[in-house]
Structure formats: structure tokens, C-alpha cells
Amino acid sequence: MHIVIIGCGIIGATLAYELSLIAGLKITVVDRQPPAQAATGAALGVLMGIVSHKVKGKAWQMRETSIQRYETLIPELEAIANRRIPFNRQGILMLLPSPQVTTDDLTSWEKLRETRHHQGWQLEILDVAQLEKICPQVDVKSQEYIGAIHSPQDRQLDPTALTLALVEAAKHNGVSFKFGVTALGMKSPNQLETTDGVITGDKFIIAAGLGSSALTAQLNQKVDIRPVLGQAIHLRLGHPLAKSEFQPAITCNDIYVVPCGAGVYPTTDYWVGATVEFSQDGGEISADKELLDATLKSAIATCPELAKADIIRTWSGLRPRPEGRPAPVIEQLPGYDNVILASAHYRNGVLLAPATAQMVKEMIL
């Protein structure tokens, strides 16, 4: 069976690698850009699975499947690709700022902690004194917190490094990649027209993020996927925050402070992000500098030491968000038994990539 995957961000690359583990499949991946561009290249790679409030159904199952798979996937890829992938195993620290979070909200966290305990996962609720002790980089004096949640089994990774390792491992397993080749559309249900000629296949997987809409529209199935812009900043401090051994990904009010290179290099750099910017009139979205400045200001309020850091670069990317339905969209395209859509993961592409691959694998087999 010949499987053609359109798109080589984190979703397409994970699909290519996981499917390459099945004997007897021929796999071709097509992307108009090099791997890990677009949404993947802009992501911070924070895997909020256990700390999310999803506790049942597909939303929780996908998170749990992915978190479990990452523990085996990272060492597997490192062995094949012979390269280290930055993978922060110190968890996620979610700060609970007052007055946004009240003591009443702690009850829902205690309930979630119980649920997770029964599911075999850990969540720790820290009071302010515990927070200050284990994470001195957080300013608990000038900022009001009622505590924090530490999710020790959630992770953060470098999405670009991961995608490149997935591509390398998939190539090692015989997958063919065509970069710089644009998918122009389906010529027939079994033929994809590209700028490099026609590719004939048995199954086609559309994992092209924002590019997925145009491809489905040609098959008379318009799947409405719209862009949401996100901006982030790379800071260089030159040493770990508070020179602390404990360097989790920190989040507060949807702002993230992420140690770079965790588990591979000493932490001297941090990523800060990310904004959430919608198109006002359905047109182009241009990055709002004021929002980025406000994001940096919030990160410095959380970890004041970041004020001494140099800005190395800022960047932005467009996340694919499905209109009028929950993300992601993983389904057989209506009317086509050989076209699968695996796209529109919005802000959870990196988190849900392994579970997406598992679902698609089941659909194919």
C-alpha cells in the first residue's frame, strides 16, 4: 500500500515515522517547504496534558496517549537519529495568581488532583511558601499568588529538533520525502498533482495545517481552517534563572517562560510567549507589537531576573484553527474512503501529534 502524506510539520513528520514502523507500507511525504516550518517552527512545545482539565472522552484519551508515547518516542528517535532532542522532564509549573484565581478555584484543582491520582498520574498543589522554596525565580513578594500547580509528568520539548529527528528516523525506515514540492490538488481520487509531477497512491493523508482547506475544497469538501497568530521571544540570560536546579516550564495567565535546550544543554536561554491574535475581518493578521511587549512585561513580572536578559530574536507563526468545530480535525474526508484529514490542531499540535498518528494508523489498518 502506498501512503502519501501532504505536509511535514510535527503532524506529518510524526505520521511518517509511526507509519514507517508498519511492515509493507510505502510512504511518500510532500511539502512545499523544508520540515518544521509554519506552525511547528513557531511553537513552544509545552505539553499540557495532565494539568489540563480534560478528564474523559477523546480530549483526555488523546492527551494521555501522547504523554505516554513521548516517554518512549524521544529515546527511540535519539537512538536512530543519533542526536539529542531537548526534552524537559521537570514538568510544568502553573502559577495561580490572585485575584484571577480564588481559594474556591483550589477546590476544582483538588478534585482534578484526585481524578489524576485514580488515573495513575500526579499533580501537586503548592502553597506560596512551597512555591517560593522550590522555585525562587518566581517573584511571590510583589505578585499575589494563592499558590501553584506542579505537574511533574507533563513535558516540554523543542518542536523543530523533534520534527527533524522524526524525518531522519523515518528516512532511515525507508520513507521518501519531497521538500520544495507543492501539492496542487487531487487529479483523481488516487492521484495527487504536484509541481514535481503526479504521485499515484492508495491513501492520502492531508496534514497541511492552513493549507488543508484548499486541498479539501478541490474535493468539494470545504473544511474551514483559519489562522490564529502567535508571537514569541527568545531571551538570553547567560545563566539559569535563580541559578536554580529546578527549571520547569512556567505558565501564568497563559504566558509561558520556557527553558531552552533542557536536558541537553545548560539552561542560559528562555523562550517567552505566546500571544493569541485573531483576524478582525477574516483578512490578513499582522503581528501586534504591543501584545508582544505586554507578554514580555508579564514574563518579567513573574520572573524579574528576565529583565536582565538580551532579546536574541522574536518570531511569529500562524496556528490552524477549525471554524465552528473543536480542534483537531481527524477524520476520513466525507465521500472519499482513501483521503484522511489530520489537521487543524490549533494550539495543541505538538501535544497531540503521537495520538493523532495512533488514530490515523487505526483508520488505515
pLDDT the model gives residue 205: 98
Give the C-alpha separation, 258 to 156, whole Å.
8
pLDDT grade for 37, boundaries at 50, 70 and 90: confident
Q: In this model, does residue 338 exceed pLDDT 90? A: yes
pLDDT the model gives residue 1: 97
Rg (CA), the chain: 21
CATH class of 2-85+158-225+324-364: alpha beta
pLDDT grade for 313, boundaries at 50, 70 and 90: very high
Contact (Cβ atoms closer than 8 angstroms) between residue 228 and residue 217: no
pLDDT the model gives residue 47: 98
Percent of the chain residues past pLDDT 70, beyond the cut: 100
Provide the β-strand partners of residue 273. Answer: 232, 256
pLDDT grade for 146, boundaries at 50, 70 and 90: very high
What does the pLDDT look like over 189-205, one tens digit per residue? Answer: 899 999 999 999 999 99
- The CATH 3.50.50.60 portion of the chain extends over 2-85+158-225+324-364
- The CATH 3.30.9.10 portion of the chain extends over 89-155+227-322
Q: All 3 cell numbers of residue 259? A: 527553558
What does the pLDDT look like over 238-290, one tens digit per residue? Answer: 999 999 999 999 999 999 999 999 989 989 999 999 999 998 776 789 999 99
- Cell 489524576 belongs to 116
- Cell 511547528 belongs to 40
Contact (Cβ atoms closer than 8 angstroms) between residue 202 and residue 190: yes
pLDDT the model gives residue 218: 87
**Over the chain, what is the mean pLDDT?**
95
Q: In this model, does residue 144 exceed pLDDT 80? A: yes
What does the pLDDT look like over 86-96, one tens digit per residue? Answer: 999 999 999 99
Query: 212, exposed or middle or buried, with CB in 10 Å at 0-12, 13-18, 19+?
Result: buried
Contact (Cβ atoms closer than 8 angstroms) between residue 170 and residue 152: no
pLDDT grade for 228, boundaries at 50, 70 and 90: very high
- Cell 496534514 belongs to 207
pLDDT the model gives residue 38: 85
Q: Which CATH architecture has domain 89-155+227-322?
A: 2-Layer Sandwich (3.30)
Give the C-alpha separation, 138 to 126, whole Å.
13
pLDDT grade for 59, boundaries at 50, 70 and 90: very high
Percent of the chain residues past pLDDT 90, beyond the cut: 90
What does the pLDDT look like over 319-333, one tens digit per residue? Answer: 999 999 999 999 999
pLDDT the model gives residue 140: 94
Report DSSP letters for 112-177, one per residue.
HHHHHHHHT---EEE-HHHHHHH-TTS-TTTS-EEEEEEETT-EEE-HHHHHHHHHHHHHHTT-EE
What does the pLDDT look like over 9-19, one tens digit per residue? Answer: 999 999 999 99
pLDDT the model gives residue 103: 87
